[in-house]
Amino acid sequence: MKLRWRVPALGIPLLLLLLFATPVCAQRLPPIATPEHYDLAFVVDIGGKRFEGTESIRIRIDQPTSRIVLNAAEIDFKEVTIGAGTAAQRANVVLDKTAETATLTVANALPAGPADIHIRYAGVLNDKLRGFYITRGDKRNYAVTQLESTDARRAFPSFDEPAYKATFAVTLTIDRGDVAISNGRVVSDTPGPDPGQHTVKFATSPKMSPYLVAMAVGDFECVEGAADGTPIRVCTQPGKKELARIALESAQEILTFYNRYYTIKYPFGKLDMLAVPDFAAGAMENTAAIFYREDGLLADSATASVATRKDIAATVAHEMAHQWFGNLVTMQWWDDLWLNEGFASWMETRPMAASRPEWNLAVDEARASHRAIDLDSLQSTHPIHTPVQTPAEIDALFDTITYQKGAAVVRMIEHYVGAASFRDGVNAYLQAHAYGNATSEDFWKTIAKTSGKPVDQILPTFINQPGVPIIDVSPLTCSGATTRATFGQERFLLNATGARATAPVWQVPACLKAGTAADSSACLVISEPRLTLDVAQGCVPWIFANAGAEGYYRTAYAPEILRALAPHVEDALSAPERVTLIGDEWALVRANRHTAADYLTLAAGYGREPVSGVLGDVTGRLGFIHEYLTTDATRARFEAFVRSMLRPALDRLGLTFLTGLTGSPGRRGDNDDRRALAAVVIDALGTIADDGDVVRQSRAALDRSLAGGPALDPALAGSVVQIAAQHGDERLYDALAAAAARATSPGERSLYVFASTGFRDPRIIDRALQRTLSSDVRTQETARYMAGFFDNPVARPRAWSFVKTYWSALEPKMRIFNAGATLTRSLDAFCDAAARDDIRAFFDTHRLPGVTGALNQTIERINNCIDLREKQTKPVSDWLASRR
């Protein structure tokens, strides 16, 4: 809600009171003027860690005013004038640190119409990874920007809201030996003004939001390519550009794909991508100048695993998708952030799904949907569309709901209206709002219109309501020639606390697949709390109510349907459908509707699962059961069960995966997913089942490779290193630290750095914890590094003590984008009341901005775990006993 500026009835004292009592309202700019164009000139002094800015903003004033309010933070204003030519007046500047605004006031009111603001100012190249900041490279420092969400105001005074789109012309004065990258191509490069400097002028950008401005200065080297006539470069610190080949090839393929998918071809003239040593997010979609964390972009193309290639391609595809969804058409306000992030997350798998079917991306999508559904099963979730005002609230929205629920809902609608019709709708939406802004409503109205289907009824129930529906499928009945079923829907909650006053209802597009006639799949909309429908011709024994696994809902089947379906899981269900079936079953266990024994019976049948992603889901939950639902009395038997389930898989894959862990040429031809499958199997055998063979072989292979012998197979390296660390000694710890220090690729370095959180020996754990505060662990990695300890049952309590003891040193690192939430979420591995209460009490007095939601989710998850342990430990031991 915005404050109105003339409210005479309230009187001035009350207005003042209101202003002070509601500081969040003051976070929005008052609608006084609209920017049209920015001229931005910077003199960048990397050595002195500062910059000088000269800025002209051409604005349009709506009504006569003597006051303009814009955003600014940590900016030292030198001189401000407003108005053109002789009419220019000096402005007085009043800063509001909390609201991050500068109010410019002139003596004589400015008339409605155009005006120019001229500002001379100075700023710091900070070390906080936001605004215009310093990053520490291997040999020297660099200056780069990261302006989303609300940090353009730290680089230049601006109307720093996404709806204030304008054009930007950037000029950078930099050291003679350096180059610069920005949104436009270089239009001139002249020596001076000082002898040691040159001045680079970039082409004016198209109309865009201020958070998309980008600048980078340093001695970057680039590899160059092109697609459809658009030049593409990937740039790095000196000596690393050869690691940019995978990214360059991906970008070329992706741009070609997008130019076919969208009716608007890539509109920004050139595309630069830059690997930045210190980068708070994984990557940032600045218009035509995308910035990445080094380890998200660079890898050795001779050795990179499929997982690494997938990650690079997905990251590049995500940021490139934003060039349309985000940069060309931008959400009106951050409350519709999903129009950016949900769409880019949906689109990021599209290009590679088309060209690399063997990557099984549909399985990754189904797993990503389940991550969102898991979070959405908590009381402490939030709707996709959530009102936000402050920078901390805006940052907190960059979460699994916005990204993965957003993507899942888009996928569901695409499936429901059909891919071709959806694409027409997407293009109509982009055409209608190009170089402008849009809302959720704009989107669903367009898709409803182009598809002729009630998308405008369906989408609001998923965008504006929190939570996920569960569809209950009744026993099937058959009369005459048709099978019927009754579908019930309600909100699915892990910790159900009784019925609420008004139960939400969704308009659920559901696609059904019926037993025996496997190709008979039909879609319908479940629009009522209860609905009886014909589901198949003839009498069928089972139906699967989420065909294609594209629906954002859970399903609970009548037991007789599950029994009839069970023998057909492998041949009648696709890999993503298998992910959905077993994921829903596990959720029903966590909600105490089914027992862990039901889950284990189903899981035991996945021993022959051929797709790595599906099996990885199953073994992940076996790991959970192993840790939380077994006791000293039952653990060995559970481990024996996991061995009996997976040893045959390992034998089938061939023992070479064990004995020949070190990349023998014979295995090069192995199908990629077979190797990924072997990694999952080895991981589960080594970390859950305590398989002596696997543990010994892993350590031996790692020792050989660290000693300069054959390198680990990249597909298996993650599993091998983790298993070895879990069982490792101090000698291994030191060897991994040394290997991290001399690693030549960012992926190799992070593999070794993060492995040090996995040891079980308390002395090693303490050494590894101390490393958190050293320069071995970069600020941007700290939260993820800490999360590694919380994942490790032996290290968990020590890590929590460490956090509390060293909070004053850790806290600044937790203010980096997402770090506080990542740390808070990783605490959900605790499963006892004492830890829960201690966590709550600690964060009550040690507040981090924007983590309230994450903290509530963690508390709720811990409570669920406590409850589950209480109720499901016995069913697990009974199930194990019954197998003997």
- Long-range CB pairs of 598-603 (<8 Å, 24+ gap) are 599/625, 600/625, 600/641, 600/876, 600/879, 601/879, 602/566, 603/645
For residue 249, the partner it binds in ligand BES, Zn ion, none, with Cβ less than 5 to 8 A by kind, is none
**Reduced 3-state DSSP string for 783-811:** HHHHHHHHCCCCCHHHHHHHHHHCHHHHH
Helix (H) / strand (E) element for 672: namely helix 672-687
Of 212 and 712, which has the nearer Cβ to Zn ion? 212
**Helices 306-322 and 245-261 meet at what angle, rounded to 10?**
50
- Segment near Zn ion (CB under 5 A), from 224-232, 336-344, 591-599, 871-879? 336-344
Instruction: Candidates 151, 341, 365, 690: give the one binding Zn ion (CB under 5 A).
Output: 341
Of 341 and 617, which has the nearer Cβ to ligand BES? 341
> What number of helices (H) and strands (E) belong to the chain?
33, 30
- Minimum CB separation of residue 463 from Zn ion in Å reads 18
User: With 0-12 CB in 10 A as exposed, 13-18 as middle and 19+ as buried, what is 655?
Assistant: exposed
Of 368 and 455, which has the nearer Cβ to ligand BES? 368
- Segment near ligand BES (CB under 6 A), from 76-84, 278-286, 439-447, 841-849? 278-286
What is the DSSP annotation of 744-798?
Answer: SSHHHHHHHHHHTT----HHHHHHHHHHTTSTTS-GGGHHHHHHHHHTSTTTHHH
Residue 414 annotated among the catalytic residues of the structure? no
- Minimum CB separation of residue 271 from Zn ion in Å reads 16
Q: Is 322 in the site for ligand BES (CB under 6 A)?
A: yes
Residue labelled with tokens 């370095």: 749
Q: Is 319 in the site for ligand BES (CB under 6 A)?
A: yes
Cα 147 to Cα 57, 341, 526, 690, distances in angstroms? 18, 16, 42, 47
- Minimum CB separation of residue 435 from ligand BES in Å reads 19
For residue 149, the partner it binds in Zn ion, ligand BES, none, with Cβ less than 5 to 8 A by kind, is ligand BES
- Minimum CB separation of residue 789 from ligand BES in Å reads 21
Q: Is 282 in the site for ligand BES (CB under 6 A)?
A: yes
For residue 398, the partner it binds in Zn ion, ligand BES, none, with Cβ less than 5 to 8 A by kind, is ligand BES
For residue 315, the partner it binds in ligand BES, Zn ion, none, with Cβ less than 5 to 8 A by kind, is ligand BES
Q: How many CA atoms lie within 13 Å of 445's alpha carbon, on the beta-carbon side?
A: 7
For residue 51, the partner it binds in Zn ion, ligand BES, none, with Cβ less than 5 to 8 A by kind, is none
- Long-range CB pairs of 418-423 (<8 Å, 24+ gap) are 418/451, 421/450, 421/451, 422/447, 422/451, 423/261
Instruction: Candidates 100, 148, 365, 617: give the one binding ligand BES (CB under 6 A).
Output: 148
What is the DSSP annotation of 361-375?
Answer: HHHHHHHHHHHHHHH
> Is the Cβ–Cβ distance between 170 and 287 less than 8 Å?
no
- Segment near Zn ion (CB under 5 A), from 101-109, 341-349, 638-646, 751-759? 341-349
Of 284 and 677, which has the nearer Cβ to ligand BES? 284
Of 57 and 314, which has the nearer Cβ to ligand BES? 314
List phi, psi (to 5°) of 204: -65, 135
User: With 0-12 CB in 10 A as exposed, 13-18 as middle and 19+ as buried, what is 328?
Assistant: buried
**Catalytic one of 161, 285, 319, 781:** 319
Q: Which pair of tokens denotes residue 637?
A: 């038997």
Nearest to 736 by CA among 773, 766, 768: 768
Nearest to 758 by CA among 734, 781, 727, 731: 727
**Which residues does 758 contact at the CB level (< 8 Å), separation at least 6?**
722, 725, 726, 728, 788, 792
Of 407 and 602, which has the nearer Cβ to ligand BES? 407
Q: Which pair of tokens denotes residue 251?
A: 């970008």
Cα 179 to Cα 175, 556, 832, distances in angstroms? 8, 59, 54
For residue 708, the tally of other CB atoms under 10 A from its CB is: 7
- Segment near ligand BES (CB under 6 A), from 312-320, 501-509, 597-605, 851-859? 312-320
- Minimum CB separation of residue 403 from Zn ion in Å reads 7
Q: Which pair of tokens denotes residue 516?
A: 């025996």
Cα 56 from Cα 71, distance rounded (Å): 15
Binders of ligand BES in range 331-360 (CB under 6 A): 341, 344
- Minimum CB separation of residue 676 from ligand BES in Å reads 20
Buried b (16+ CB within 10 A) or exposed e, 281-308: bbbbbbbbbbbbbbbbbbbbbebbbbbb
User: With 0-12 CB in 10 A as exposed, 13-18 as middle and 19+ as buried, what is 500?
Assistant: exposed
Of 318 and 626, which has the nearer Cβ to ligand BES? 318
Amino acid at position 422, single letter: F
Of 344 and 689, which has the nearer Cβ to ligand BES? 344
**Which residues does 710 contact at the CB level (< 8 Å), separation at least 6?**
662, 663, 664, 704
Instruction: Candidates 398, 492, 544, 624: give the one binding ligand BES (CB under 6 A).
Output: 398
- Minimum CB separation of residue 392 from Zn ion in Å reads 19
For residue 198, the partner it binds in ligand BES, Zn ion, none, with Cβ less than 5 to 8 A by kind, is none
> Is the Cβ–Cβ distance between 307 and 300 less than 8 Å?
no
- Minimum CB separation of residue 311 from ligand BES in Å reads 8
For residue 849, the partner it binds in Zn ion, ligand BES, none, with Cβ less than 5 to 8 A by kind, is none
Q: Is 284 in the site for ligand BES (CB under 6 A)?
A: yes
Of 317 and 426, which has the nearer Cβ to ligand BES? 317
> How many residues touch ligand BES (CB under 6 A)?
15
Instruction: Candidates 344, 426, 485, 681: give the one binding Zn ion (CB under 5 A).
Output: 344
- Segment near ligand BES (CB under 6 A), from 264-272, 283-291, 413-421, 660-668? 283-291
Q: Is 584 in the site for Zn ion (CB under 5 A)?
A: no
Q: Is 399 in the site for Zn ion (CB under 5 A)?
A: no
Cα 143 from Cα 181, distance rounded (Å): 11
- Minimum CB separation of residue 347 from Zn ion in Å reads 10
Instruction: Candidates 145, 250, 315, 697: give the one binding ligand BES (CB under 6 A).
Output: 315
For residue 727, the partner it binds in Zn ion, ligand BES, none, with Cβ less than 5 to 8 A by kind, is none
Q: Is 683 in the site for Zn ion (CB under 5 A)?
A: no
For residue 311, the partner it binds in Zn ion, ligand BES, none, with Cβ less than 5 to 8 A by kind, is none
Q: Is 274 in the site for ligand BES (CB under 6 A)?
A: no
> Is the Cβ–Cβ distance between 127 and 134 less than 8 Å?
yes
Instruction: Candidates 81, 149, 404, 719: give the one binding ligand BES (CB under 6 A).
Output: 149
- Segment near ligand BES (CB under 6 A), from 61-69, 275-283, 741-749, 785-793? 275-283
The answer to whether the Cα torsion of 561, 567, 572, 578 is positive or negative is: positive
Dihedral (C-alpha) 26, 31, 33, 37: value to the nearest 10 degrees? 80
DSSP 667: G
Q: Is 151 in the site for Zn ion (CB under 5 A)?
A: no
- Segment near ligand BES (CB under 6 A), from 315-323, 623-631, 762-770, 840-848? 315-323
List phi, psi (to 5°) of 489: -130, 140
Of 344 and 618, which has the nearer Cβ to Zn ion? 344
Instruction: Candidates 416, 817, 830, 879: give the one binding ligand BES (CB under 6 A).
Output: 817
Of 319 and 690, which has the nearer Cβ to ligand BES? 319
The dihedral region occupied by 325, where left means phi > 0, alpha psi between -120 and 50, and beta the remainder, is: beta
**Which residues does 502 contact at the CB level (< 8 Å), separation at least 6?**
none
For residue 142, the partner it binds in ligand BES, Zn ion, none, with Cβ less than 5 to 8 A by kind, is none
List residues with catalytic annotation.
319
Q: Which residues bind Zn ion (CB under 5 A)?
A: 341, 344
Footprint of ligand BES on this chain (CB under 6 A)?
148-149, 281-285, 315, 318-319, 322, 341, 344, 398, 817
